[in-house]
A and B are shown apart, each in its own frame.
Chain A
Amino acid sequence: MTKYRISKTKFVDQTKTVSFTFDGKLYHGYEGDTLASALLSNGIHLVGRSFKYHRPRGIMSCGSEEPNAICQINDNTNLTEPNVRATEIELYEGLKASSQNCWPSLNFDVGGINNFISPFIPAGFYYKTFMWPKSFWKKVYEPLIRMSAGLGKSPTVPDPDIYDHKHEHCDVLVIGGGISGIISAKIAAKNNLKTILIDDKNVLGGSTIYQNNKNFLIDNKKSSEWLLNEISELEKIDNLTIKTRTSLAAYHSYNYLLAKENISDHLPLNKKNDSIRQRLWKIRSNKVIVATGAIERPLVFNNNDRPGIILANSVKKYLDFYGVSSGLKNIIFTNNDSAYETALSLFEKGISVKIIDIRKKSTSNIVKNAEELGIQIFWNSTVVNTIGYRKVNSVEIMDLSEDGSNVTGNIKKIECDCLAISGGWTPMVHMHTQSGGKLDFREIDQVFVPNEKNENQINVGSCNGDFELEEIIKNTNNKIKKFLNVNETDFDKLSVLGSKEFEKKNIWLLPNTISEGKTKSFIDFQNDSTAKDIKLALREGFKSIEHVKRYTTTGMATDQGKLSNMHALGIIADTAGVKMGALGTTTFRPPFTPLTFGALVGRNVGKFFEVIRKTPIHEWHIKHNAKFENVGQWKRAWYYPLNDENLHEAVQRESKAARDSAGILDASTLGKIDIQGTDASEFLNRVYTNAWSKLGIGKCRYGLMLNEDGMVYDDGVTTRLGENHYLMTTTTGGAANVLSKLEDYLQTEWPELDVYLTSVTDHYSTASICGPNSKKILKKLFPDKDFSDEAFPHMSYQSAKIDNAECRIMRISFTGELSYEINIESKYGKSLWESCIIAGEEYKITPYGTETMHLLRAEKGFIIVGQDTDGTMTPIDLQMDWIVSKKKYDFIGKRSLYRSDTIREDRKQLVGLLTDNPNEILEEGAQIVSELGKKPVEMIGHVTSSYFSPNLNKSIALAVVKGGKKMKGQKLFVPMESKNINVTVSDFIFLDKENKRINA
């Protein structure tokens, strides 16, 4: 045992030594230790440097509220993690921890200079300083801020760990396994309710489990012993699930909660194996019992941040739970009775302890007990300064004036190596407020307590403002009985002995002889904001707590102000002369403690990140060296390089082949909606801009769909399969949205229409064959079929069979070439495709991908919705007036086409662009200007599609340009980083304007 490991406890197994390193040095602790308790047992308090002033900081607490002891663990490995609280890391063999925010080392940190220049870096320093000169921002300020920003180091390689998600449903969820949580869980489970009890620690029982003080007895037993017995009974109940090492992250409405379970974080490196690291539980519970306890408050006085200054109850936990004494010469500095429990624990183990109390007296049992034992108590006193750079070695105290607003008398100096502070308790109301609950302010002990209005949620124990043992047990029992509608419990007749606190006193900012401008009285330890900063913010006119928070950064560190928020509020209230209750609190947002990204994403990483949709022909594409592009969730063949062709070379070859002989495209991804019903024609009339009633059976028609605001939404060819039967195709990416939009109109605006919509996208596989030889290939595939223009004209459909499998052949064209689309049931898709390739062999049929498809359609001036349109283009802007019916009384978006804004002549309109140098290819998205040299530059449009056309042997582009319709022949400029490209506005149909090729 080290000199600070004072005693044995049942929570730390001193037969099992665990070795670990901190800042490279080897230390030992025991199984059951946290990193913090192991460090303290080795006499180490200094564990980090503060964020702004780089002041030495020590371990301050024993839980999730820890602001100082945050470490980088397993640095320089793929398991590294920054900003982990040493108080929450369970020690394991091989753990490597290091301090953060110091350079070159923790003991000598260059940034420490900030402490001495601190008068020049007050609150809002960044906002005030880095404003000017403007030219300094990019080269000087930003790199400087970036270097000093942040605490730990982000991992640079992928996380090798496995994370998991799981859904859980229960009748009652109890959050927190302290005494009130255990009472609640037992009542719930014993009354046949499916109950889950979660606690973030590895051992249940909260602070009662190590409460051995004889002033607190339950059933005449030490409260720790009584609770231990309760816990062992709890473990026998079948319908109760206990989850330790599980912390609640978020509490959403309708009792939907997220909790993170640590599964292998505490295991030695060589035993983690392939175990899941953390699991995120998604819990839906009928009723929720919040028993999250309270956090001890620090006190705010000059130099209250030195290593060796620890919250009093944490000193007690290190002693009674871990057997570690934080110091050998302890001073307790308190404003309440609870810290006397710490004093008694220390005294009992023969460790030196003195008490400084800001109150004039206290008449409670526990204080009398301390006085009887002869523990020295300095009443009505306050600490005015602490001394010791890397660890506190003495404190200076003075008497308080009558009203507590000032100090009097002489300074007394007392030596110590640990200063245990207690400013009272703050109920952890985070869960209650996250769920939408409001708070009430209780004047007597200055706490915010839950204002309970939710019938399916209740707060018990100290998170509800019950701090004393008797009231915790009595109130919890009574509230739970009512909440769960239970008549009788095991706890109705419990005898409880406690110590009642009668004298209460609180001073948010303790007085000093020196002005507060010259003191360092920390409120937010992690973000280094002081009482002075808060007051400065108020002087500068900030009034709202939300503004003061952001200006001073109080409460904005990784601990989310668990220790600091109440003091900030209190000092604002005192300074501004308002009531604290009227100020309200800042918003508590999830997560309660930081969550790993791994826990949030769970298994949805790598290939499971997003759903992948593949066409039935996918394997063929892979075998033929296709490169793929993502279109929505689909993987589409992008191009098929031969040998070592690049994208450009492959596309030039594919495009030429499609126009010179034959090309084949996998068009299976196009959205397909089957439309049936007696009103199907009328329905199409209403959703498309053109007329559909007269479309003959077996004919196809191109349709344009608008939003109600008149903007182009989707397009595609629809085929009339029968009197009351149509097959609509949509864009690949728009399929799901189009279906949902059509369903919306059908169900809500036109329920009288007899129409049924079914998505059949995945049911059919589509091979699209185009080019002058396509007809010959089709004839080979379907020898019985008459493919003459008379029997099977452009824009028509016929069914046919191949090897007894039914096909739908549409003669439609998106390339401008003679073209057929063959649809077949998906299961035959690959086989049909292969037949097409064999039949096309003699014509050198060339598979082409989406890139070539884009090029071919651009040569013909066909738009792609979403590439040439962006939700601000009407059909008129696209020069597609021909497709907008003048006769139809109404269709979706019609009225919007003649709003004052949509009839403006200077709207962006679709045009073609030709570069003066035919070999120069414009960049898609490039801006277009009409004048060079003029400032400010007016952007009159942008390039939407751009390619080098092998069939025209020149560069072509589509663009949208303000007033472009009337600009044909006009010279414009496309300014690029290196030069300006001269372009001429042209017609947007570049090839075969007469449409000769579709009948070639």
Chain B
Amino acid sequence: MFIINCPYCGERDQSEFSCGGEAHIVRPKQPTELSDDEWAEYLFMRKNIKGVQFERWNHAHGCRKWFNMVRDTSNDKIHAVYKMGEKPPVI
């Protein structure tokens, strides 16, 4: 059970948050112009890395804000937390 530093509320227990999967997958601006394969790439394909991964998290039982988090999935070390729209840090 991690402690997550919500960029809006500060440190809170993991049980207040929910994970929304891989971050920085942008919804295509013009979906209708994509082929099935391109659309499937957006819709289904995720990296699921063992190691440093960029993830979306939601402070679901708190401020309800979404934000991004850099977490090493092999040891759950959290390297960084940053707001939506901010540039991902270099890890």
Contacts and interface: CB of A to CB of B under 8 A. Distances in A.
A709 interface: yes
Most chain A CB neighbours (cut-off 10 Å) among B1, B3, B60, B84: B1
Interface string B1-44: 11100000000011000001000000110111010100110010
Interface in A245-275: 252-254, 256
Most chain A CB neighbours (cut-off 10 Å) among B30, B43, B58, B65: B43
Interface stretch (A740-748, A790-798, A942-950): A740-748
A254 B66 contact: no
A256 B1 contact: yes
Interface string A731-744: 00000000010011
Given A747-B84, A899-B40, 13 more contacts: A284-B3, A284-B13, A436-B75, A743-B64, A744-B20, A747-B65, A747-B66, A748-B84, A751-B85, A889-B32, A890-B31, A895-B39, A900-B36
A900 B3 CA distance: 44
Nearest to A902: B36
B51 to A, nearest CB: 15
A750 to B, nearest CB: 9
Contacts of A889: 32
B43 A709 contact: yes
Given A253-B76, A254-B76, A890-B32, A744 B43 contact: no
Given A709-B43, A743-B64, A748-B56, A895 B32 contact: yes
Interface residues of A, number: 22
B53 to A, nearest CB: 15
Interface of A: 252-254, 256, 284, 436, 708-709, 740, 743-744, 747-749, 751, 889-890, 894-896, 899-900
Given A740-B58, A744-B66, A748-B66, A252 B1 contact: yes
A740 B58 CA distance: 9
A358 to B, nearest CB: 41
B31 A895 contact: yes
Contacts of B20: 744
A98 to B, nearest CB: 39
A253 B66 contact: no
A254 B3 CA distance: 7
Contacts of A890: 30-32
A889 B32 CA distance: 8
Contacts of A256: 1
A894 B31 contact: yes
Contact of B27 (A252, A749, A900): A749
Given A436-B75, A743-B64, A890-B31, A896 B39 contact: yes
B43 A751 contact: no
Contacts of B75: 253, 436
Contacts of A896: 39, 43
Contacts of B43: 708-709, 896
B1 A253 contact: yes
Nearest to B44: A709
Nearest to B3: A254
B39 A254 contact: no
Nearest to A167: B13
B62 to A, nearest CB: 13
Nearest to B20: A744
A744 B58 CA distance: 8
A743 to B, nearest CB: 6
Contacts of A743: 58, 64, 66
B79 to A, nearest CB: 14
Nearest to A454: B75
Nearest to A757: B64
Most chain B CB neighbours (cut-off 10 Å) among A709, A740, A743, A895: A895
6 contacts: A709-B43, A743-B64, A744-B66, A747-B84, A889-B32, A896-B43
A169 to B, nearest CB: 11
A900 B39 CA distance: 11
Contacts of A284: 3, 13
Contacts of A744: 20, 58, 66
Contact of B36 (A740, A749, A899): A899
A269 B40 CA distance: 65
Leading 9 A-B pairs by shortest Cβ distance: A895-B31, A256-B1, A747-B66, A253-B76, A749-B27, A254-B2, A252-B1, A254-B3, A895-B39
Given A254-B2, A747-B84, A895 B34 contact: yes
Given A747-B65, A890-B32, A899 B39 contact: yes
A895 B39 CA distance: 8
Contacts of A895: 28, 31-32, 34, 39
Contacts of B1: 252-254, 256
A910 B39 CA distance: 27
A740 B62 CA distance: 12
A347 B66 CA distance: 70
Contacts of A899: 36, 39-40
Contact of B84 (A253, A254, A751): A751
Contacts of B34: 895
A727 to B, nearest CB: 20
B31 A253 contact: no
Given A254-B2, A743-B66, A744-B20, A894 B84 contact: no
A896 B38 CA distance: 11
A887 B32 CA distance: 12
A252 B13 CA distance: 13
B76 A894 contact: no
Interface string B44-81: 00000000000010101000111000000001100000
